[in-house]
Amino acid sequence: MAYTELIKTFSRIRRYLLEFYVYGFKSREEYNRRSSRSYDDERRRLESLLADNIRCRRTVESKTVYISVDSRTGEHNPFFRVLKAKSFTDGDITLHFILFDILSSPDISLSLSEITELIDERLSGFELPRTFDLSTVRKKLNEYCREGIIIGEKRGRSIYYRRSEDIPPCDRDMLDLFTEIVPCGVIGSFLLDRTENRDSIFRFKHHYLNGAIDSEIMYGIFDAIGNKCFADIVTESRRYNENGSILVPLKLMISTQSGRQYLMAYDTLSRRIKPIRTDRIQSIKTAQPCPEYDRYRSLLDRMQEHIWGISTESVSSARMEHIDFTVFFYADELHILRRLEREKRCGTVEQLTENTARFSADVYNVTELIPWVRTFICRITEIHISDKAAEKRFLDDIQTMYRMYSAAEERHDIQ
């Protein structure tokens, strides 16, 4: 099939997009899941769609492609452009514009045969005019009724079609902000495309862009949640094998510090609530209503009192794990106490003395906290973890760091 810039199925390009953005060091030969031709096509496509954000690095052995974005200086998420590259047929685009030329105002209401006649009239000026039969036009009109842009009204035995009412222009500043900070922000970008182009006055810090790649998956998640339904979800494992589960989507969990999003879902087979990364979901389809939905959702809400991140199970066999650590701070370091308070999540903070404070928490999985605890290195006076293996690992890691950055660091590589 001849190369085209447009994309037929988003799932094909989704994995390349994520890998170019997050990794960006693999050469053509290392993308061995599909043919090299497939890699060449997707790379060329992304180079066209993402233009300024695609970089190449050449070595003697190979050329690698990576996506580089400093999200504090840019404006809108460049990945939105990829979601605006859906392929279509010559008939689709021709019919689209002619229909909205015919139905140019909400007070024009026409039957299928009237519309088809007017289509022929519009095309009559061309040397070899295209023809659209009644069935094709009806299918397109019905498709647009489902999208909410055309309304079909039954009058007698016929259906009359008119365009739906438009809405007043949206506040552009509001769109510029929310497009970047709420899920499915690409839809805000669609709305922005209807407005006059103008620089956004917003910039974003700590801003991850990869969520846009999972927009379609998030849409599916919200559809199941909104309708309180089961969902058929297909995920990929580490070996990229497909497996199916019937799950009850409950909530979308978003991390502002790791760039990941997770679906929290009740698994009716294992009878547990489990997290699933959205970038590992290949497809999601709303199934039948779940009569127990509210009960599962309440269960999750109660469990969140002991979930640090997204994990609902420990590495050790304990159902609940305990952690506490004490930090020291000088009189001019009161910001440390404020840090503990604002970052404590489901934990508690107790000021012990003028210069010490203790954080403690009971959680399902204590290993989720360890990276955060390490951010207090230089002032941790003591630490206790109920999972002794985790406690030992934490202390061993600190010893390793001492060695890594010691005077003999040249002899001691990263572990």
C-beta separation of 323 from 384 below 8 A: yes
Pick 319 or 335: Cβ nearer other proteins: 335
C-beta separation of 228 from 249 below 8 A: no
Among 260, 286, 290, 387, binds other proteins (CB under 8 A): 260
Long-range own/partner contacts, residues 267-270 (CB < 8 A, 24 or more apart): 268/230, 269/245
- Chain positions 387 to 406 lying near other proteins, rule: CB under 8 A, are 395, 397-406
**What distance in Å separates the CA atoms of residue 198 and residue 380, rounded to the nearest whole number?**
49
Among 125, 237, 243, 271, binds other proteins (CB under 8 A): 125
- Chain positions 156 to 185 lying near other proteins, rule: CB under 8 A, are 163-168, 170-171, 173-174, 177-178, 180-184
Among 29, 36, 40, 92, binds other proteins (CB under 8 A): 92
Q: Residue 284 to residues 63, 176, 217: CA-CA distances in angstroms?
A: 35, 29, 7
Pick 315 or 318: Cβ nearer other proteins: 315
**What distance in Å separates the CA atoms of residue 100 and residue 274, rounded to the nearest whole number?**
46
C-beta separation of 355 from 336 below 8 A: no
Distance in Å, CB of 169 to other proteins, minimum: 10
Pick 157 or 230: Cβ nearer other proteins: 230
Among 256, 270, 317, 353, binds other proteins (CB under 8 A): 256
- Chain positions 329 to 358 lying near other proteins, rule: CB under 8 A, are 338, 341-345
- Draw the binding track, 264-303, toward other proteins (x: CB under 8 A; -: no contact): ----------------------------------------
Site size for other proteins (CB under 8 A): 142
**Segment near other proteins (CB under 8 A), from 33-41, 134-142, 287-295, 370-378?**
370-378
Pull the structure tokens for residue 377.
């290195």
Distance in Å, CB of 199 to other proteins, minimum: 9
**What distance in Å separates the CA atoms of residue 376 and residue 393, rounded to the nearest whole number?**
16
Pick 131 or 243: Cβ nearer other proteins: 131
Q: Looking up tokens 């999985």, which residue turns up?
A: 365
For every residue of 341-375, DSSP letters joined together read: HHH-TTSEEEE-SSSEEEEEEEES-GGGTHHHHHT
